[in-house]
Structure 1
């Protein structure tokens, strides 16, 4: 069970108890409530006190007990209506603190500061609580600053289709926002059980798909036994929507992170992430990077800087994760940090913290970070009001384009307890991200193809990501930081590979490319274009960026020893016809020479230059001319 989710973030569902109140019986309800109260079982005591309050609303002791129960269960605002009744007869100085907290959460910061100071004077200066009042006062001062300069955003409740009368929280989305997963403690929880600690239903994971704008399908259980009779919470979703990281409760203090991958329409059985990430301690939250090579997670393991700290692991070339890197004191503080989210831009990290300059409880902060090393490049900044409030603000995820964010909060007009909201910027700030998505199909019959997508940074020749299409639909989603020249290679068993080139400068901001990729079988007369084979201007000299693509062709030739191919060169219509013919022929031969140097039998290779004689587009625009300047592979035989 995610402790602060239940104990610190969410209000109590007062009807969820294990013993039954007795309607109209004041004495027995007070007696039973006091029995739980004296045992510090405030969740169980509260329903009895509330039932007794229906009979007598003048009992100041009862009002005090109700207020205390609400505070002990971290639902301070609900205590506010009972405070005036409680102070009629009670002289307990704790009432000053209760009032201060209620005013604080209502953003009445000056009133709260006055009462915090008055309550502080009743405390021993050596007590930890005395110093806590300094923190509360500092939170109020930060709140006053942030409210003077609010962030211009529109915040919308996702509505009754997604939200229920129960806690709904921890939303995660695919990069293209077509899929939403979230955690809820609603009555149809798997097994129907309730947690003995707080009387609420166990957490389950639910799934919904976007119809349009902010309209979503009815949430359904994620299926395939992912949800158990205990706590199961979603914490992260890969950009392509096909890998879920989830939390499962284990033991009294611990909890681990698991991974489940989607195959077709079914989620596989979750597997516990390795011991680099999970420990005998508590690992409640995580986020996976767009290249799926880095995981940011939180843990309260020994050796950290505070209660819960943020760590990062990076995948090695063999697919294993390297050692956990504790992010430095720029991010982690002596207090708690949690709920990291790494944006698809590959550099902006969002997280929640109690230790940085916040309005109260957890506030959301952001900074830039080196995804390879974990080095913090810019200091964390508060994301601002009204996104942050004086209450806990956690679980905040952006769409890939940076226009919308999804988060959970208790706000006026909600449907009950925590609800899920969407935030939209009034002035869209485009994230420097490329979203490449679509469907992979067979050219012959258009049926979906299960393929692997390799993404290479052509400037470094390093593979920056390996992704898969959905085995049932053929759909794929790849999210990449902008500003690089990417070579895309799509590969599937029994097919020629297909290549794409994506090259957008950083300043272009968010780019979304939708493409249906048609895969050709290894059949005679089939041709493909080598989109990532490049030559020096007006020369037949292969540029270094061509190596990855040519090596893919070498691999196909080695795996299919009977395959014979023709390499053909093509130009646009600019320049002298004879020159273009010779240039295209020389470029085709340069590719053949590369393959021979890699050990391919020359008898399996032919080449020909076609100059400008076989255009695939009219030579009327720079873009069309660029497409006509190409190198092709044609299968001659495959006996």
Structure 2
């Protein structure tokens, strides 16, 4: 990495140039221009493109095609600005030469490989026909240089030509995926990358790119919610040139890549007593005088998959395997062989929990351009030919660092969402193909206010034909921009926010629609003047002898909703469960609803009091939110209704509650649990007084309730199943 003194020198020149451009433009001397060129070259040498490019721009003029080449290649390596490379490189190739001396200040010609970088720029911008034409032109010109020594690595041109053809095929046959932002808490910075997640799913470490610096961010999941991330560079003593690589099974061992002045090495740190230890360099079986870029560990902590460009490999970066020996040290490295490794680069390998699937990125194999994400089945050193994960996970640009989760079902992945903005998403892989996909994009805002959007600002995407909720999205926390990836079909978007009237927008995408990006009209939600409702206390609702047969339903079943409901053909509709009790109660206590239906079955003996019939799950959630705003307690759940089965009735009196506290002596409920109504005291066979809240028909219901703010102060609270332990 470039040293701090060098950075300050580059920054000083940038600031000077930006302040004094009018004088500089007319009065610059040849000596000053040479100095600027030398500093730009220094920054460029160290890969500091965002520092080098403004310096090159100061030197730009229409007749200097070498400078235009350098500007173009800088843009091609700057996140969010790659398309700006095209006009500079288009100009550069018109005056390019094999023998151009590009490191000379006097050189005005561009090098011949300007054609290659122009083709890559076209490719990244999805102008694939132009890319193919330019790659073929470059290949012809490069072959003409053979008599003069020839250009190197010409096989990579053929690889990119094939990648262009692959890209056309992959885009026409996209993979069906769904995605959601992992947490708005992880969107504090602009570029959030390299999500390393423990196998148990309770720890995440990722890298926030802050210009020239890297911040290592750490978060734990508590009660199924990610906590605000903290920066751990100081704990790790890692400097600013580290990037997150992977975590072990329980999130107590972290592997990192450290640039080390372009040497590239792998380090590890341990999480003990609530903090991270300083990083420690792995042994010489892993780190060598060559370049090591990534490492990930198996679930049992005994196998390490890492990348290195050491001698003896297939070419470029290869993936290696090291096993932990009896002394706990990493043993000799084994190359995974030609099934996985190619003559080009492989990077960011991850092994799944069951050790049967290897996910990695490669510039070889059958890709779309740059690095693509692949997976291969096998184990140890024996692997099958890898499968490309396809479009839209892969693109014509570099795609790296897909962290698999739940074996081959899910993953964590950083995706560009806006200009110089990348956020971490939770991906669900369906392993099925769509005919053709499109991007729905738009802007969401609230009238008369400027806010930072969060998880409360929900956009539901539904299929108008089936009523299924296809995806749930959120606007960018600062800009309000959003997007969905969809196939052809009829869609409805439902925009919601607390205290605002929801809006709907219908759209249709028919086969043959020419543009892949559909720009929807801007949505502005109007304020819904708040009506203050008294908080309803349903804990003491009167019991009645029986339920009115007109509203009692016994031939249908009610279940918790899941993420896979859209594939469930047995669902009749969705409804909102207001309460679930063992007794029939007076339904007149349920204010503001006039359509209460009561479901009952002999299996769990619960009377389930529900309101609403919705074919669209999103509308059921909107109805529940409306009840919340009218004073209903937080213990309302969305349920799916299906036809009853002929299963044998097994009487049961079990239910679930939140245990807030257990004490040897009785406490005063109103003082100990202020703000909570309906807390129950039970004395159990252990002689202790147990304080319980709520009656839930499933553990999932209770766990959802436990995540709410009102329970956060009760550190010992947990969900428990209630059975015959209770005495009184």
Tell me which interval the TM-score lies in, with the shorter structure as reference length. 0.5 to 0.7
- Aligned partner of residue 286 in structure 1, secondary structure: strand
- After superposition, the C-alpha distances for 1:326-362 in whole angstroms (9 at most, x for unaligned) are 1111111121111110000211111111122211111
Residues 333-372 of structure 1 correspond to what in structure 2 (within 5 A)? Answer: 333-371=342-380
- Displacement of 1:285 in angstroms is 0.7
Matched, 1:201 2:212: yes
- Aligned partner of residue 185 in structure 1, secondary structure: strand
Asked if the contact 1:345–1:400 (Cα under 8 Å) also holds between the matched residues in 2, the reply is: no
| Distance in structure 1 (CA, Å) of the matches to 2:391 and 2:85 | 29
- After superposition, the C-alpha distances for 1:75-125 in whole angstroms (9 at most, x for unaligned) are 377353464477579832566545422221122222211122233333344
- Inter-CA distance 122–289: structure 2 relative to 1 (3 Å threshold): same
Match of 1:22 among 18, 38, 63: 18
Partner of 2:653: none
- After superposition, the C-alpha distances for 1:277-307 in whole angstroms (9 at most, x for unaligned) are 2222222211111111111111122222212
Q: Which runs of 5+ in 1 are unaligned?
A: 3-12, 54-58, 187-199, 430-639
- Displacement of 1:422 in angstroms is 2.7
- Inter-CA distance 47–160: structure 2 relative to 1 (3 Å threshold): farther
Most deviating of 96-105 and 279-288: 96-105
Match of 1:414 among 389, 413, 418: 418
- Displacement of 1:317 in angstroms is 4.0
Matched, 1:383 2:389: yes
Partner of 1:226: 236
- Displacement of 1:256 in angstroms is 2.4
Partner of 1:185: 209
Aligned residue pairs total: 394
| Distance in structure 2 (CA, Å) of the matches to 1:85 and 1:375 | 46
- Inter-CA distance 397–63: structure 2 relative to 1 (3 Å threshold): same
Most deviating of 395-404 and 354-363: 395-404
Match of 1:264 among 243, 267, 273: 273
| Distance in structure 2 (CA, Å) of the matches to 1:297 and 1:160 | 31
- Aligned partner of residue 187 in structure 2, secondary structure: coil
Asked if the contact 2:348–2:401 (Cα under 8 Å) also holds between the matched residues in 1, the reply is: yes
| Distance in structure 2 (CA, Å) of the matches to 1:321 and 1:90 | 49
Matched, 1:123 2:142: yes
- After superposition, the C-alpha distances for 1:602-632 in whole angstroms (9 at most, x for unaligned) are xxxxxxxxxxxxxxxxxxxxxxxxxxxxxxx
Q: Which runs of 5+ in 2 are unaligned?
A: 97-111, 434-728
- Aligned partner of residue 140 in structure 1, secondary structure: helix
- Inter-CA distance 425–129: structure 2 relative to 1 (3 Å threshold): closer
- Displacement of 1:227 in angstroms is 3.8
Matched, 1:107 2:117: no
Asked if the contact 1:25–1:52 (Cα under 8 Å) also holds between the matched residues in 2, the reply is: no
- Aligned partner of residue 121 in structure 1, secondary structure: helix
Matched, 1:241 2:237: no
- Displacement of 1:67 in angstroms is 5.9
Match of 2:399 among 393, 413, 430: 393
Matched, 1:424 2:428: yes
Partner of 2:463: none
Partner of 1:568: none
| Distance in structure 2 (CA, Å) of the matches to 1:170 and 1:300 | 21
- Inter-CA distance 104–211: structure 2 relative to 1 (3 Å threshold): farther
Residues 496-575 of structure 1 correspond to what in structure 2 (within 5 A)? Answer: none
| Distance in structure 2 (CA, Å) of the matches to 1:275 and 1:246 | 16
| Distance in structure 1 (CA, Å) of the matches to 2:427 and 2:242 | 26
Residues 100-179 of structure 1 correspond to what in structure 2 (within 5 A)? Answer: 100-125=119-144, 126=146, 127-128=151-152, 130-158=154-182, 161-164=185-188, 166-179=190-203
Partner of 2:723: none
Asked if the contact 1:161–1:219 (Cα under 8 Å) also holds between the matched residues in 2, the reply is: yes
Asked if the contact 1:253–1:281 (Cα under 8 Å) also holds between the matched residues in 2, the reply is: no
| Distance in structure 2 (CA, Å) of the matches to 1:140 and 1:360 | 7
| Distance in structure 2 (CA, Å) of the matches to 1:37 and 1:401 | 46
| Distance in structure 2 (CA, Å) of the matches to 1:209 and 1:27 | 54
Asked if the contact 1:80–1:99 (Cα under 8 Å) also holds between the matched residues in 2, the reply is: no
- Displacement of 1:170 in angstroms is 1.1
Match of 1:329 among 313, 334, 338: 338
Asked if the contact 2:75–2:85 (Cα under 8 Å) also holds between the matched residues in 1, the reply is: no
| Distance in structure 2 (CA, Å) of the matches to 1:132 and 1:271 | 37
| Distance in structure 1 (CA, Å) of the matches to 2:177 and 2:300 | 29
- Aligned partner of residue 47 in structure 1, secondary structure: helix
- Displacement of 1:49 in angstroms is 5.0
- After superposition, the C-alpha distances for 1:37-63 in whole angstroms (9 at most, x for unaligned) are 56656553422455789xxxxx64589
- Displacement of 1:17 in angstroms is 3.2
| Distance in structure 2 (CA, Å) of the matches to 1:146 and 1:223 | 40
- Aligned partner of residue 357 in structure 1, secondary structure: coil
| Distance in structure 1 (CA, Å) of the matches to 2:227 and 2:357 | 30
| Distance in structure 1 (CA, Å) of the matches to 2:391 and 2:311 | 34
| Distance in structure 1 (CA, Å) of the matches to 2:156 and 2:408 | 36
Asked if the contact 1:232–1:248 (Cα under 8 Å) also holds between the matched residues in 2, the reply is: yes
- Aligned partner of residue 213 in structure 2, secondary structure: coil
- Displacement of 1:35 in angstroms is 4.7
- Inter-CA distance 18–341: structure 2 relative to 1 (3 Å threshold): farther
Residues 305-324 of structure 1 correspond to what in structure 2 (within 5 A)? Answer: 305-324=314-333
Asked if the contact 1:257–1:272 (Cα under 8 Å) also holds between the matched residues in 2, the reply is: yes
Asked if the contact 1:160–1:415 (Cα under 8 Å) also holds between the matched residues in 2, the reply is: no
Partner of 1:68: 70
Aligned-residue CA RMSD in angstroms?
3.6
- Inter-CA distance 27–38: structure 2 relative to 1 (3 Å threshold): farther
| Distance in structure 1 (CA, Å) of the matches to 2:192 and 2:310 | 28
- Inter-CA distance 259–134: structure 2 relative to 1 (3 Å threshold): same
- Aligned partner of residue 175 in structure 2, secondary structure: coil
- Displacement of 1:133 in angstroms is 2.7
- Aligned partner of residue 22 in structure 1, secondary structure: helix
Partner of 2:83: 80
| Distance in structure 2 (CA, Å) of the matches to 1:111 and 1:267 | 50
- Aligned partner of residue 122 in structure 1, secondary structure: helix
- After superposition, the C-alpha distances for 1:151-171 in whole angstroms (9 at most, x for unaligned) are 101234556632355432111
- Aligned partner of residue 276 in structure 1, secondary structure: coil
Match of 2:308 among 291, 299, 306: 299
Match of 1:92 among 76, 92, 95: 95
| Distance in structure 2 (CA, Å) of the matches to 1:50 and 1:385 | 35
- Displacement of 1:176 in angstroms is 3.3
Asked if the contact 1:347–1:369 (Cα under 8 Å) also holds between the matched residues in 2, the reply is: yes
Partner of 1:44: 51
Asked if the contact 1:364–1:388 (Cα under 8 Å) also holds between the matched residues in 2, the reply is: yes
| Distance in structure 2 (CA, Å) of the matches to 1:375 and 1:237 | 24
